[in-house]
Amino acid sequence: MSVSTMPILIVDDYNTMIRIVRNLLRQLGFTNIDEASDGRTALAKMQSKSYALVISDWSMNSMTGLELLKHVRANAKTAETPFVMLANDNDQGAATEMRAGANSYVVKPFTAQALKERLVPVLGAF
């Protein structure tokens, strides 16, 4: 699967952050990008479509990124989906990787290059 067709889901309750991540992903060559403004919407989308990657914010209302990740890992259909957390600091990111099984994390704010450095170990070179 090429980078351009790889389906990616961005989950964030802050529309500006979704736009920023979408633009950074486009700079890296990704074009098949969906979005969800909360965890419940993300879970529903993941039931109807298989994603090659989920990028979720840690801090969201109604369902945190950590709770979303736990739901994703607990569901047989989505358990293996690569999941990258957007964290506010390294402590949040490391905790997510260790406790909940995120594949990686990126500390905000970040550049396209920083995002790519975190995605290559998850998705392979692109």
- Per-residue model confidence as pLDDT tens digits over 20-64: 999 999 999 999 999 999 999 999 999 999 999 999 999 999 899
Which pLDDT score, from 0 to 100, does residue 3 have?
A: 81
Virtual torsion, Cα 32, 35, 41, 44, nearest 10 deg: 0
**Any idea what DSSP says for residue 79?**
T
pLDDT value at residue 97: 74
Query: What pLDDT score does 1 carry?
Result: 74
- Could you tell me which CATH number the domain at 3-121 has? 3.40.50.2300
Domain boundaries, the chain: 3-121
Residue 98 has pLDDT above 80, yes or no: no
Interatomic CA distance for residues 114 and 1, integer angstroms: 22
Q: What is the pLDDT of residue 29?
A: 96
**Phi-psi label, residue 76: left if phi above 0, alpha if psi -120 to 50, beta otherwise:** alpha
Q: How much is the average pLDDT of 61-78?
A: 95
Residue 63 one-letter amino acid: M
- Mean pLDDT confidence for 102-114: 94
Is pTM beyond 0.75 here? yes
At residue 69, φ and ψ (nearest 5 deg) are: -60, -40
Strand partners, 106: 86
DSSP characters over 98-112: HHH--SEEEESS--H
3-state SS class at 117: helix
